[in-house]
Amino acid sequence: MPTYNDYGIILNSYDLGESDRILNIYTKENGLVRAVVKGARKTLSKFSGKVDQLSCCYFHFASGKNLDTVCDCEQVNSFSLLRSNLICLTSAVLFLEIVSNFAHEDEHDSHHIYDLLYVSLNRLQISPNPDLESISFISKFLSLHGYKPQFETCVSCAAKTDLKPALSGSYPYSSILGGILCSNCSGTINSKSVNSQTLNILLNAGRDIPIEQLYNKQSLNNQNKNIRSVLELLREHLDVRAKNKIKSFDLVFSL
């Protein structure tokens, strides 16, 4: 049976039979891998504590016809700080669900998504604002998939928009098409009004600048409502494009 090694983060898992567990793992080189861990639920299993959701491991796999097998694994990061903070943990589970929804087996270029997920989970552990960290993760994730919300030109007719997010005002935004509309198109296509502060947060999220440098504590408190509006907007954007609706948003918004 051919074998291979890869880094991976466990997206979710479910029980199989008496004591086995099936893992859905997002790996660095092979994209989504579905693999069984034999005896994972036995008390004295060598996998105990290593194959939980969110755990990052270096795996040794054996390829199978329908399902690969985890022969061994070494834990690289358990993200223990995330597990001790309910708000951060909820955001982390949101990241995993989003990756799971867009993931495929044998993806080439999966290392971009893997690296983004790993770095974002690490940053989330010490973030002053998990919602902003989620916005940053989702924006970069959408960019990697070519689904980034469009601002510079009208998402319908490609005319240049008069976007000036530094000024006050609002812009017509179409969640279905995924971007802002020019004044001509906004009359004929369903849209909602997005204020410039909300757009600013979204534009900042795509840049690789730490949250602490973009916002001080006071401005973060003032922006809470707008930050939630951006998350709502990204939720609609993802739901149109994902295989299934992203359920973890309900929990994020309930906290």
The Cα 12–Cα 24 span in angstroms is 5
Beta bridge partners of 12: 24
174 binds Zn ion per the rule CB under 5 A: no
Detail the DSSP E strand segments found in 178-249. Answer: 179-180, 192-195
Nearest residue to 24 (alpha-carbon basis) of 37, 40, 5, 39: 37
Residue 14 Cβ vs Zn ion, minimum distance, rounded to whole Å:
46
CA angle (224, 231, 189) in 5-degree steps: 120
Nearer of residues 48 and 190 to Zn ion, judged by Cβ: 190
Bridge partner list, 230: none
What is the closest distance, in whole angstroms, from the C-beta atom of residue 253 to Zn ion in the complex?
A: 31
The reply to whether 155 sits near Zn ion by the rule CB under 5 A is: no
> Should residue 194 be labelled a site residue for Zn ion when binding is judged by CB under 5 A?
no
Q: Determine, following the binding rule CB under 5 A, whether residue 152 of this chain makes contact with Zn ion.
A: no
The answer to whether 151 touches 139, Cβ cutoff 8 Å, is no
- 190 makes contact with Zn ion (CB under 5 A): no
Q: Which of 156, 191, 198, 229 binds Zn ion (CB under 5 A)?
A: 156
Residue 12 tokens read as 């979710």
d(Cα 154, Cα 106) in Å, to the nearest integer? 35
Among the residue ranges 7-15, 71-79, 96-104, 157-165, the one whose residues contact Zn ion (CB under 5 A): 157-165
Nearer to Zn ion, 8 or 179 (CB): 179
Sole binder of Zn ion in the list 25, 51, 182, 252 (CB under 5 A)? 182
Binding region for Zn ion (CB under 5 A): 154, 156-157, 159, 182, 185
